[in-house]
Amino acid sequence: MRFVKIDSPKSFFDKEKNILEQTVAVVRDAFASPMEFEDVYAHLTSPEKVYLVFEGKDVIGMGSYGERIFSGIPTLIVDGIAIRESFQGKGIFGGLTDLVLNGEKLICLRTQSPQMYRALEKKCRFVYPGKDVRIPEAI
């Protein structure tokens, strides 16, 4: 398995049509939904950071991220993660997260997916919202 950072996602995907098509297929598979090409394309080309996960020459996953400062706290924003269903549960989310983190103290998800929150619980001391957890005043 190989993790690859995509610099300038828009120009990369506009040039690498085969990888774009594979990545769109992965997103559709991961969400079990025939998502519109334009929606997937926008989510792939607009984030600050995009990583692809390859098994050989095949795309099996992707992650898109942003960075912000909230109340003076460096924060990683997980814009989207999609992993081909047959590869889910094999540590890819954790591998991507380890690769992308650059000293951020908070990780925010732009999803309501329970699977993403469960995966994040393995990486973080506290997950908000969470059971019996109060959000710190600084946030």
pTM of the model: 0.84
81-85: long-range pairs with CB below 8 Å, 24+: 81/116, 82/26, 82/27, 82/29, 82/30, 82/31, 83/26, 83/30, 83/53, 84/26, 84/29, 84/30, 84/60, 85/29, 85/30, 85/32
Domain count, the chain: 1
CATH number at residue 109: 3.40.630.30
Instruction: Please write the tens of the pLDDT for every residue from 37-64.
Output: 999 999 899 998 999 999 999 999 999 9
| Residue 18 forms part of a structural domain | yes
Percentage of the chain lying above the pLDDT 70 cut? 88
| Residue 58 forms part of a structural domain | yes
| Residue 129 forms part of a structural domain | no
Domain enclosing residue 11, as ranges? 2-121
Instruction: Please write the tens of the pLDDT for every residue from 103-137.
Output: 887 888 877 777 777 787 777 776 666 666 666 66
